Structure 1
Amino acid sequence: MPVLTVRIMTDVECDAWLDELAREYAEEQVLAGRWASEGAVERAKEENAELLPDGPATDRMLVLRGIDESGAPIGRAWVALDHPRGAPGVAFLYDIEVIAGRRGEGLGRALLQAVEAETRRHGADALELNVFGGNRTAIALYGSAGYEVVTQQMRKSL
């Protein structure tokens, strides 16, 4: 498995990532039927701005860049060290992604492990995340990495 490290994103990296993240998150929410498409990107940007008012310097947040052995960026991750619903000792993974040009190299698992190690280094006992039901690749990765379903939301079209 590739060896990766993580570091805090720069302000410039964070600004570019937040724009991309808002578009991706809005699209996922719309596809999941949770948000209307009109205004979805703006809503995502507002939610992210509330959670990250100081960008990568926001207290109790880890806004990370994954780096390979050569020093090249390969991905990103965002972890809240305090769970959004107050679960003690549990951090929350808001985002993790390998950049498009580097997917399929086994970097997702390595990035996840590096993020877990950094989260543990900051005092968390567990890491929780949400994954949309249609993201089968991510579901398989998390399951094989030892993540277990703790809640599940289901829907049936009528």
Structure 2
Amino acid sequence: MSMLVPMSKLFFASYIEELVVQYAKENVESGRWQKSGSLTRSRRDTERLLPRGIETENNHFFELKAPDVNESVGSIWLSLENSATTGTVFIYDLEIKPEYRRKGYAKLALKEIEDFAATHNIVNVGLHVFSNNEAAQALYTEMGFKTVSLNMVKNIG
């Protein structure tokens, strides 16, 4: 039984609002953005990526339903990105609710994302992780992800 259950429009409405807040917070905490205006910037980025919301082409939204739990343990936003040379399933968001973290659900979800990619004839799974999120970096390294680029910033203010 798959953990990936297509997200309902009702669930999506609350999910996207929380995503905007969380993305702004992570950008501020990582030092990429100033706090002032971060919510506006986050909302603008999200609307640019999802002009039709849950109906935006090549984007897929899932709730994570664990067989041993009677509720959602998290959520996922995937985008199918094709170029002339390769296709990638890009993980825009993989969120496990705090009370379900460190129980193996993220690993199971990542394996199912690989299966999802394979069913779409895609051989790459990509993602972005903030430099201050050491737990996520460790998980992704353990699951076989490799760093392919690195953004660096020097604060001179």
TM range (shorter): 0.7 to 0.9
SS in 1 for 2:42: helix
Letter in 1 for 2:49: L
5+ residue gaps, structure 1, are: none
Q: Deviation of residue 154 (structure 1)?
A: 2.8
Indicate how the Cα distance of structure 1 residues 4 and 138 shifts in structure 2: closer, same or farther if over 3 A, else same. Answer: farther
In the alignment, the residues of structure 1 paired with residue 85 and residue 126 of structure 2 have an alpha-carbon distance, to the nearest angstrom, of 10
In the alignment, the residues of structure 2 paired with residue 22 and residue 95 of structure 1 have an alpha-carbon distance, to the nearest angstrom, of 11
Name the structure 1 match of 2:19: 21
Q: Deviation of residue 31 (structure 1)?
A: 1.8
Is the CA contact 1:90–1:128 (under 8 Å) kept in the aligned structure 2? yes
Letter in 1 for 2:80: L
Q: 2:50 aligns with which of 9, 29, 52?
A: 52
Q: Deviation of residue 94 (structure 1)?
A: 0.7
- 1:75-119 CA distance string (max 9 Å, x none): 111111016x88731221111011122112111111111222223
In the alignment, the residues of structure 2 paired with residue 87 and residue 28 of structure 1 have an alpha-carbon distance, to the nearest angstrom, of 32
SS in 2 for 1:82: strand
Letter in 1 for 2:103: E
Is the CA contact 1:98–1:107 (under 8 Å) kept in the aligned structure 2? yes
Give the TM-score normalised by the residue count of structure 2. 0.88
Indicate how the Cα distance of structure 1 residues 132 and 113 shifts in structure 2: closer, same or farther if over 3 A, else same. Answer: same
Name the structure 2 match of 1:109: 107
SS in 1 for 2:140: helix
Q: 1:131 aligns with which of 124, 129, 132?
A: 129
5+ residue gaps, structure 2, are: none
In the alignment, the residues of structure 1 paired with residue 116 and residue 7 of structure 2 have an alpha-carbon distance, to the nearest angstrom, of 14
The correspondence of residues 5-16 of structure 1 with structure 2, limited to 5 A, is: 5-16=3-14
Is the CA contact 1:18–1:45 (under 8 Å) kept in the aligned structure 2? no
In the alignment, the residues of structure 1 paired with residue 7 and residue 52 of structure 2 have an alpha-carbon distance, to the nearest angstrom, of 12
Letter in 1 for 2:7: M
Give the TM-score normalised by the residue count of structure 1. 0.87
SS in 1 for 2:67: coil
In the alignment, the residues of structure 2 paired with residue 33 and residue 5 of structure 1 have an alpha-carbon distance, to the nearest angstrom, of 34
CA RMSD, 1 decimal: 2.1
In the alignment, the residues of structure 2 paired with residue 127 and residue 90 of structure 1 have an alpha-carbon distance, to the nearest angstrom, of 5
Letter in 2 for 1:150: V
In the alignment, the residues of structure 1 paired with residue 72 and residue 64 of structure 2 have an alpha-carbon distance, to the nearest angstrom, of 6
In the alignment, the residues of structure 1 paired with residue 2 and residue 141 of structure 2 have an alpha-carbon distance, to the nearest angstrom, of 21
Name the structure 2 match of 1:76: 75
